[in-house]
Amino acid sequence: MSDTQRRPFAVVTGGSNGIGFELARHFVENGHDVLIAAEDEGHLTQAASRLTEAAGRLSAGGGAVTIHAADLSREDGVAGLYAAIRAAGRPVDALCVNAGTGLGGPFAETDLARELRMIDLNVRGAVQLTKLVLRDMVARDAGKILFTSSISAAMPDPYEAVYGATKVFLRWFGEALRDELRDTGIGVSVLMPGVTETNFFNRAGMLDTKVGASEGKDDPALVAKAAFEAMQAGRDKVVPTLKNKVLSAVTDALPDKVAAQIHRRMAEPGSAG
């Protein structure tokens, strides 16, 4: 049996940077072959090179890395990724539904086209890919799925209204699937990270907010480590770092109006500094 046939196979969307890249690194360093998917082929190539280098530093050798460039906000983009997965001729042992984007600002003023694309990527694309891969997992009664939601899913999300709503969807979509699959060999986990040091705030146009300018963001490597360990252990939900666990518990217990006020003070445009 070849190494490729022996090693488990993981797929990570949004795997070229941030939390997705760090998730891919954990899989590679733990003996998985990994397919990373994102829109920008150049970024994917750079990420694959870094992951391959990390795998090569391991004494036992890590897994192999392949890439697939596609716009996962489009139905044909997701279909193309699934075709690439099937072409590999291997079952998906772990699927990380991590690709996503955001947009900050008052809803009455933000760009509708960007918000609709965000819904297509964060929600519709996630549902489509999960449906396709999960059917294969169900057929063999094995596999693990991780959804990257957000601590924003624990509270109303002023000035990120559409983004927050997509993350609420992913949280409860993942929780519902976990319950549906409770008597199977398939595990489903939901990651709810807090403010993390990634390119998210730049892409979302939120560098001028208090949260975007904060120097206390979480390390994506630590967030991914917590997610990887939770996924492997079969835990239902992971909220990395103590401060986020406290925030999640507090906001879940507060009236929605109060929780929204807490988030608004962080996300309101022009509040940086």
Model pLDDT for residues 1-25, shown as the tens digit of each residue? 455 557 999 999 999 999 999 999 9
Query: Looking at residues 75-104, what average pLDDT do you find?
Result: 97
- Alpha helices (runs of H) in 149-208, residue ranges in sequence order: 161-180, 200-203
Model pLDDT for residues 19-51, shown as the tens digit of each residue? 999 999 999 999 999 999 999 999 999 999 999
φ, ψ for residue 38, nearest 5 deg: -165, 180
What stretch of H or E contains 78?
helix 75-87
CA distance 265 to 259: 10
Whether residue 200 has pLDDT greater than 50: no
Can you name the residues that pair with 189 across neighbouring β-strands?
146
Amino acid at 59: S
CB 23 within 8 A of CB 232: no
